[in-house]
Amino acid sequence: MQRAANYQDLLKLIAIILMIADHVGLYFLPEVQLLRAVGRYSMPIFCFFAGYNFKNKARLELLLYGLALYFISVFLVYGKW
């Protein structure tokens, strides 16, 4: 028996398609600004699911890992702290 997709799966699929449109607009069609504008709607959806799925599982090590990656990426991109 096949299980029907729920609304969360549908919203995730929409977010993935929007992210693909954003990346296609960035790398292959930079002159089409509509792809970049539409792709910007994927991040709030992903953030919603991150908050929704981790609402009862706040972990300090995950926060520290994210901060460490942020500072490393800033150092690598800009070359200074």
Of the pLDDT bands very low, low, confident and very high (cuts 50, 70, 90), residue 62 is confident
Return d(Cα 36, Cα 48) in angstroms, integer.
Answer: 20
Query: What's the pLDDT tens digit per position in 17-55?
Result: 999 999 999 999 999 999 999 988 898 988 888 777 776
Segment 58-77 shows an average pLDDT of 80
Domain locations along the chain? 7-78
More confidently predicted of 53 and 5 = 53
pLDDT of residue 2: 53
